Amino acid sequence: QKEVEQNSGPLSVPEGAIASLNCTYSDRVSQSFFWYRQYSGKSPELIMSIYSNGDKEDGRFTAQLNKASQYVSLLIRDSQPSDSATYLCAVNIAGGGADGLTFGKGTHLIIQP
Amino acid sequence: NAGVTQTPKFQVLKTGQSMTLQCAQDMNHNSMYWYRQDPGMGLRLIYYSASEGTTDKGEVPNGYNVSRLNKREFSLRLESAAPSQTSVYFCASSLDKDEKLFFGSGTQLSVL
């Protein structure tokens, strides 16, 4: 059974600080990892993708992957009130005949002005 | 370039009624998906189509059917709606199976 686990929050972070979102997954052969942002009442939108161990940076966002620990994280630097949303972690298995991406239940992030 | 378009945006059904949710993408993607999202449950895959002409069950397929009409269109049908199917439904597409997903705007469905 594939599982993706996230702390549901809410995670409250002061404006300008670094927000750190974490995700663990159960399947050791997972190859592709994604972070989606979802505003209330809206559809998920892709923020970051990461495929190999280490860090990947895109503007204020950094994704970190550690396959040995089955752990992927998202850092948001200089947090803004507009970053307040639910962040979904999604994981797939390379070559699997199954089920598309498996999503975590999401972490609700609140940036306090 | 509209991306992923799904209709309708809102729908209210009575128990036992049927309906079809429509989805179309204009990104020339091979794979398409239907997810439902419920409070506290996250996004769960109902059905997917890895490529034109194929469909497969996801995590929660019971009570649903799908049709991959062509490369662009993937519909979801509820034959006899039940209150347990009250949810927000998202269609998504990706270039290939398990690649990054692009979502439609969602359908809020209520079954009374």
Q: For residue B41, which residues of chain A lie inside 8 Å, CB to CB?
A: 105
Query: Does residue B59 belong to the interface with chain A, where contact is any CB pair within 8 Å?
Result: yes
Using CA atoms in the order A49, B72, B87, A31, what is the torsion angle rounded to 10 degrees?
-20
Query: Does residue B39 belong to the interface with chain A, where contact is any CB pair within 8 Å?
Result: no
The more confidently predicted of residues B34 and A99 is B34
Nearest to A99 among B58, B90, B102 (CB): B58
Per-residue pLDDT of B44-55, as tens digits, reads 999 999 999 899
Per-residue pLDDT of A37-68, as tens digits, reads 999 999 999 999 999 999 999 999 999 999 99
Residue A1's pLDDT is: 60
- Mean pLDDT over all residues of chain A? 91
Angle at B101 between CA B96 and CA B107, to 5 degrees: 125
